[in-house]
Amino acid sequence: MKECEERTVICENVTVKDGRLRFAGQDCGELARRFGTPVYLYDEDRLRANCRRFVSAVKRAFGEGGFVLYASKAAAFRQMYRIAGSEGLGTDVVSCGEIAAAQAAGFDLSNAFFHSNNKTDADIAYAMDRGVGYFVVDCSEELFALAVAAAERGIRQKVLLRITPGIDPHTHAAVRTGQVDSKFGSAIETGRAEEMTRLALSLRNLELAGFHCHIGSQIFTADPFVRAARIMTDFAADMRDALGYTAKIIDLGGGIGVRYVEDQPSCDPGEIIGEMAAAMNERCAERGLPLPRVAIEPGRAIAADAGMTLYTAGSVKRIPGYKSYVSVDGGMTDNPRFALYGSPYTVIAAEKADEECSERFSVVGRCCESGDIIGENIPLPPSVGRGDVIACLTTGAYHFSMSSNYNRVCRPPVVMLKSGGAYLAVKAQTPEDLLRGEV
Ligand code: LLP
């Protein structure tokens, strides 16, 4: 029998052999039958490799003081915190829910950075009482509230200020955050960032640890990151000159892009981080500023290509002269990213991966909404039909975490693949789970 070559699709952990799609070396058709569909799959080795890639790039670029925070909004179930923690990453959290999940996973919360542009008094109390290490502060109201809460507890709370460097990274408007008119942070340009620095330094129960920025997400080129690094370093030097305050930490946020479809580039985080470090070193030398500890906060680049979603096709509908649909047993409830951002995906009939994809389909979900779309114009084999396993690639970031129960559809389980085996990380929701808490 002729041995078929194994070919790679999008990312090296996704391959096709003998017409069958494999993820992390395992057969997707068999996984679909074993765990049911829809199912979120995660490749634990890939997650760990992504974590290590960032840690080594950051240490190489910024020295031993450099550190990586996993932006857990990308996928915030317990096992993700365990994996990130065991690889030496801290974490970025944005809600009590994420703090609770991290804590339940045994994550060291002194390495947690609490973001969010509007933390309530209850959020602040929850986080402080659990020993969250750093608050990344967005506004003066939060500074005052933190100072009061810290005084009540007799502690000095470490904080960073979220600074808006005034950069438009030319990514989707909904995930752009670094421009002056952003809802996030204090702009350098308007003088607000300096006012916030003065205020933070004047509050006795707060310890200003440094500055943070995050310019946006799904950015493919080094240039906006390099500009942000330069602007933040200059800002830190300006604050040293104006106020005699030297920042210990500069956190440059996340945002490195990930390849979802063939015509997108794949980014090398090491290269981008190296360029950021070169810019910072240069500015620090010019301004006589000691290099602070530098943090990077990747979410998507850690989780996205470690994930895949499997569905089962139901109906196939051809409307002659118009378009054709394949409906799957999930949709916008487990993946709202097409509906929100028009994000493109690579979709493959997992057990027909070598059949010629000579027809184009809209792959749609099961919700009562026409915008419930996984992908438009998806090439699939004409034989695609009920019962076929349909794989959507690169779904490890912002899928589980953005899933919803619209139409009371239950969230799929999360299955981790590891060394040829598989284990359940999150159980599938049941209709009874959804009713819990209702009178
Ligand atoms: N740090 C901060 C403060 C952030 O707000 C974010 C993402 C990150 C780090 C991580 O960014 P990443 O490395 O994942 O690009 N739901 C959107 C993405 C929203 C990103 C929000 N903030 C999506 O599905 O594309």
Walk along the chain (439 residues) and give the pLDDT tens digit of each residue. 455 689 999 999 999 999 999 999 999 999 999 999 999 999 999 999 999 999 999 999 999 999 999 999 999 999 999 999 999 999 999 999 999 999 999 999 999 999 999 999 999 999 999 999 999 999 999 999 999 999 999 999 999 999 999 998 877 777 777 778 888 999 999 999 999 999 999 999 999 999 999 999 999 999 999 999 999 999 999 999 999 999 999 999 999 999 999 999 999 999 999 999 999 999 999 999 999 999 999 999 999 999 999 999 999 999 999 999 999 999 999 999 999 999 999 999 999 999 999 999 999 999 999 999 999 999 999 999 999 999 999 999 999 999 999 999 999 999 999 999 999 999 999 999 999 999 9
State how far the Cα of 85 lies from the Cα of 82, in Å rounded to an integer. Answer: 5
Cβ 71 under 6 angstroms from ligand 1: yes
CA dist list (Å): 271 to 58, 92, 405: 10, 23, 39
Q: Is 116 in the pocket of ligand 1 (CB under 6 A)?
A: no
The beta-carbon contacts of 123-126 under 8 Å, at least 24 apart in sequence, are: 123/95, 123/96, 124/149, 125/149, 126/96, 126/99
Cα(388) to centroid of ligand 1, in Å? 33
Q: Which protein residue's CA is at the shortest distance from atom 15 of ligand 1?
A: 255
Instruction: For strands 324-328 and 359-364, give the pairing.
Output: parallel
| Tokens found for residue 207 | 């310890």
DSSP secondary structure letter of residue 139: S
Q: Is the CB of 216 under 6 A from ligand 1?
A: no
162 lines ligand 1 (CB under 6 A): no
Q: Could you tell me if the CB of 103 is within 6 A of ligand 1?
A: no
Which atom in ligand 1 lies closest to the alpha carbon of residue 301? 13
Q: Please give the share of the chain, as a percent, with pLDDT higher than 90.
A: 95
In Å, how far from its chain's centre is CA 379? 27
Place of tokens 């310890």: 207
- Helix or strand holding residue 428 (H, E): none
pTM of the model: 0.97
Instruction: Tell me if 11 sits within 8 A of 259, measured CB to CB.
Output: yes
- CA 63 – ligand 1 centroid, Å: 25
Q: Which residues pair with 40 in a beta bridge?
A: 309, 414
Atom of ligand 1 nearest to the CA of 397: 24
Q: How far is Cα 16 from Cα 435, in angstroms, rounded to an integer?
A: 41
Residue type, position 226, single letter = V
Tell me the catalytic residues: 368
pLDDT per residue as tens digits for the range 397-428? 999 999 999 999 999 999 999 999 999 999 99
DSSP-assigned letter for residue 437: T
Q: Which residues of 369-396 are buried (b: 16+ CB within 10 A; e: fewer)?
A: eeebbbbeebebbeebeeebbbbbbbbb
Q: What is the pLDDT of residues 148-191, one digit of tens each?
A: 999 999 999 999 999 999 998 877 777 777 778 888 999 999 99
Element (H, E) at 20: strand 20-23
**214 CA from centroid of ligand 1 (Å):** 8
- Report the alpha-carbon distance of residue 430 to residue 36 in Å, rounded: 13
Quick one: which of 106, 44, 54, 49 has its CA closest to 75? Answer: 44
What tokens were used for 131? 């020993």
Omega before residue 320 within 30° of 0, cis? no
Farthest CA pair distance, the chain: 77
Cβ-proximal residues to 329 (8 Å cutoff; 6+ apart), any chain: 37, 38, 311, 312, 314, 366
Instruction: Give the whole-angstrom CA distance, residue 62 versus residue 117.
Output: 28
Set out the domains of the chain in order of their start, with CATH numbers: 7-42+307-435 (2.40.37.10), 115-298 (3.20.20.10)
